[in-house]
């Protein structure tokens, strides 16, 4: 186990150096079938809801929530949703989702145009003081169920190489590896290679 951890740390160091030196970026596409999303037991201590722009701006005042006021503006076009678990007036966890054409600020700069029955899960976060209570799993699974009820049949996510914690979290909510996207970029130029399965998800398409 210790040798495995050393090997992983070495690979991550090499990746970080290549990221800085030649603009290498490795992104793994994850997919789940929302038709199988099942209702799970909800902890009634929390209120599950969708945040609006005013909610996001208000909650952004607390740096622990990892939100900025301009994120609320992204809700204005109707193509994004922010599902959240609230503990009274406090934020415990949230999951951001998008549909249609997704902006580069949420996709590591990779073009993404989704099918009508697909959604993109691009930011999921449990407030540090609520971690270890299972709130992330509760909120993520409830969000997937809500998306299914809105007619979405496929959930898609993108995780950068080395983000082991995110990969494990996505495993637990049923988002499985679909393929990799490799990017090289320098001086405003970007070259990308897409595994064929990732193009089927909508990556590499502008519209």
Over residues 17-70, the pLDDT tens digits come to 988 888 899 999 999 999 887 677 777 889 999 999 999 999 999 999 999 988
Q: What percent of the chain has pLDDT over 90?
A: 61
Task: Tell me which CATH homologous superfamily contains domain 22-200.
Answer: Gcn5-related N-acetyltransferase (GNAT) (3.40.630.30)
pTM: 0.88
H or E, element range at 192: strand 189-194
User: What pLDDT, on a 0 to 100 scale, did the predictor assign at position 4?
Assistant: 54
Domain layout of the chain by residue ranges: 22-200
Please, what are the averages of pLDDT over each run of 10 residues along the chain (207 residues)?
Answer: 68 88 92 83 86 94 94 86 95 96 90 95 93 90 92 95 88 92 83 94 83
CA 122, CA 32: separation in Å to the nearest integer?
14
pLDDT of residue 9: 80
């Amino acid at each position: 186990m210790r040798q495995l951890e050393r090997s992983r740390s070495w690979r991550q160091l090499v990746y970080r150096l290549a990221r800085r030196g030649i603009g290498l970026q490795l992104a793994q596409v994850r997919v789940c079938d929302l038709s199988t999303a099942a209702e799970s037991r909800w902890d009634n201590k929390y209120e599950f809801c969708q945040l609006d722009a005013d909610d996001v701006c208000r909650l952004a005042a607390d740096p622990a929530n990892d939100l900025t006021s301009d994120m609320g503006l992204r809700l204005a076009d109707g193509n994004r949703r922010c599902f959240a678990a609230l503990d009274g007036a406090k934020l415990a966890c949230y999951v951001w989702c998008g549909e249609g054409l997704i902006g580069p600020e949420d996709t590591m700069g990779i073009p993404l145009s989704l099918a009508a029955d697909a959604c993109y899960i691009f930011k999921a976060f449990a407030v540090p003081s609520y971690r270890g209570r299972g709130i992330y799993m509760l909120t993520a699974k409830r969000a997937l169920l809500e998306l299914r009820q809105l007619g979405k049949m496929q959930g898609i996510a993108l995780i950068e190489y080395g983000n082991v914690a995110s990969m494990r979290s996505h495993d637990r909510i049923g988002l499985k590896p679909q393929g990799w996207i490799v990017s090289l970029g320098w001086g405003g130029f970007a070259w990308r290679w897409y595994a064929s399965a990732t193009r089927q998800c909508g990556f590499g398409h502008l519209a």
